[in-house]
């Protein structure tokens, strides 16, 4: 199983390729500013509105790149991931853009509205205990049973490259930046952003 494996190294060329790959599916989100906040911090702040991305999160970029990176025969077997929210919804929607199955391992206690979104986008849900080891074990079982490709929520080079497209867009839209701030959960967005 590869969920604990480090993703392969990527570079800026991978992010540019991801941007081309997802262009037909992902939105170019706007960059907004606030004069009030600029005055408060005595700096010019730019906000990349990934909340306006499909599924309401940057996660769609990485999931879409992962889905559209797969060779046709591999894609036909579907994809599997574990998620309690946005990555699962993003992978389900991205899989639907290619017409392939998506399996999402959802831990007990996940927020109902997030689970409903995953299901609404067409994924087959599989429940498990709320531990990382239970998630990984369930992913491996589904992968073995279906032949689906694992798309890890953050430790996947295709996901990292896709998520890096948000920072690439921000730089193109806002010009040179002195500082780029990004949230850190699993690390996929900050990794892609740092490379971009």
Give the DSSP H/E element, type plus range, for residue 47. Answer: strand 47-48
Percent of all residues in the chain with a pLDDT value above 70, rounded to a whole number: 96
By residue range, what is the domain housing residue 123? 12-192
- The CA distance from 101 to 115, in Å, is 17
**Is 7 within the bounds of a domain?**
no
What pLDDT does 175 receive? 84
pLDDT tens digits, residue range 154-165? 999 999 999 999
pTM here? Answer: 0.93
- Please check whether residue 3 lies inside any domain of the structure: no
**What Rg value do the Cα atoms of the chain yield, rounded?**
17
84 catalytic per annotation = yes
CA dist., res. 70 & res. 63, Å (int)? 11
**Tally of domains within the chain:** 1
Q: Which of 59, 83, 191, 193 is catalytic?
A: 59
Q: Is residue 5 part of a domain?
A: no
Catalytic residue among 69, 83, 84, 193: 84
Q: Report strand pairing: 47-48 vs 31-32.
A: antiparallel
Q: Left, alpha or beta for 55 (phi > 0: left; psi -120 to 50: alpha)? A: left
Q: Is 83 an annotated catalytic residue? A: no
Residue predicted with more confidence, 124 or 175:
124
pLDDT of residue 6: 59
Q: What is the CATH number of the domain that holds 122?
A: 3.40.50.1100
């Amino acid at each position: 199983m590869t969920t604990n494996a480090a993703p392969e190294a990527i570079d800026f060329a991978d992010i540019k390729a991801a941007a081309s790959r997802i262009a037909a599916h992902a939105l170019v989100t706007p960059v907004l500013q606030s004069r009030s906040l600029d005055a408060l911090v005595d700096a010019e702040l730019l906000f990349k509105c990934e909340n306006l991305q499909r599924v309401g999160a940057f996660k769609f970029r990485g999931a879409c790149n992962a889905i559209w990176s797969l060779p046709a025969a591999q894609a036909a077997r579907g994809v599997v991931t574990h998620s309690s929210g946005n990555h699962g919804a993003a992978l389900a929607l991205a899989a639907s853009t290619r017409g392939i199955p998506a399996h999402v391992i959802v831990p007990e206690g996940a927020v109902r509205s997030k689970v409903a979104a995953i299901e609404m986008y067409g994924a087959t849900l599989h429940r498990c205990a709320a531990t990382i080891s239970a998630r990984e074990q369930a992913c491996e079982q589904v992968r073995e049973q279906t032949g689906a490709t694992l798309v890890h929520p953050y430790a996947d080079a295709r996901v990292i490259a896709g998520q890096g497209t948000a920072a690439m867009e921000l730089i193109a839209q806002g010009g040179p930046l002195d500082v780029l701030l990004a949230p850190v959960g699993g690390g996929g967005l900050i990794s892609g952003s740092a490379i971009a």
